[in-house]
Structure 1
Amino acid sequence: MSTTPDDTAQRIYTPNVLHNNVLTTIKFFSSCFAGAAAGILGLQNWLGFALFIASTLLTAFVIYVVNCKGRPTKFVAGGLWELVNPGQENAFSFVLLWTLFFGIVHVYD
């Protein structure tokens, strides 16, 4: 972390910005794996979306505890809401992989 006490300056600090990109990538992979799992398990309708919400909350909790150490506003500009927000691209990736794996595994059911 930066040696400046100002949280805004710490969020602009280049290593912190690169670390936030890693957090975004972790959230993206989590939604992709959840979509693949929902498709392989054959979940339909709200059960699949419940898995997506559960994986998003679990990922946000792990990032909150492990990476942010309970202080997300120090590391992420949006704070806790930014950790819990799945993002449009993650939701679309989830649905894409959900339908892909559902079609591959359950094509003859």
Structure 2
Amino acid sequence: MSTEDRAAQLIFGPNVLANSAINSTKFLSACFAGAAAGILGLENWAGFFLFLIATLLSAGIIYSVNCKGRPNRYFQGGFIELVNPGQDNAFTFVLMWTLLYGIVHVYD
């Protein structure tokens, strides 16, 4: 049996489905953080600092509530994988940030 087959045996369908719900939570956190940054009119590094705070806050809640302090049991990368916002979430944050900044502060 190859190492790829052994790694595939460790994947359990219900756990993959549960982790997709966690990815949705991280996605929604990025959306709301982008909306807040746009509505508040944050610019430059202040907006990205809000994204960092939102990412750490959502990762901390998932760490304590969903993972019960043991993210290595649920994620291959452990805590690093939990804190990683992902490229999609970062782009979603920027999209919401610029959209709502343009809508709210267009005539300032």
Q: Same fold (TM over 0.5)?
A: yes
Matched, 1:75 2:70: no
Using the size of structure 2 for normalisation, the TM-score is 0.90
Matched, 1:30 2:44: no
Separation in 2, partners of 1:83, 1:53 = 13
Separation in 2, partners of 1:79, 1:68 = 10
Aligned-pair CA distance for 1:66 = 0.2
Indicate the SS of the match to 1:12. coil
Which residue in 2 is equivalent to 1:4? none
Q: Percent identity?
A: 66
Indicate conservation of the 8 Å contact 1:11/1:74, yes or no.
no
Deviations 1:53-98 (A, max 9, x none): 0000000000000000000010111110011001001000000000
Report matched runs for 1:1-109 at 5 Å.
Answer: 12-109=11-108
Separation in 1, partners of 2:9, 2:77 = 14
Which residue in 1 is equivalent to 2:3? none
Amino acid at match of 2:101: F
- Please, which runs of 5 or more residues in structure 2 have no aligned partner? 1-6
> Kindly tell me: are residues 87 and 95 of structure 1, through their superposed partners in 2, closer, same or farther at Cα, counting changes over 3 Å?
same
Indicate the SS of the match to 1:39. helix
> Kindly tell me: are residues 102 and 10 of structure 1, through their superposed partners in 2, closer, same or farther at Cα, counting changes over 3 Å?
farther
Corresponding residue pairs, total: 102
Using the size of structure 1 for normalisation, the TM-score is 0.89
- Please provide the CA RMSD for this pair: 1.5
- Please, which runs of 5 or more residues in structure 1 have no aligned partner? 1-7
Deviations 1:24-67 (A, max 9, x none): 11000100100000000000011000000000000000000000
Indicate conservation of the 8 Å contact 1:11/1:77, yes or no.
no
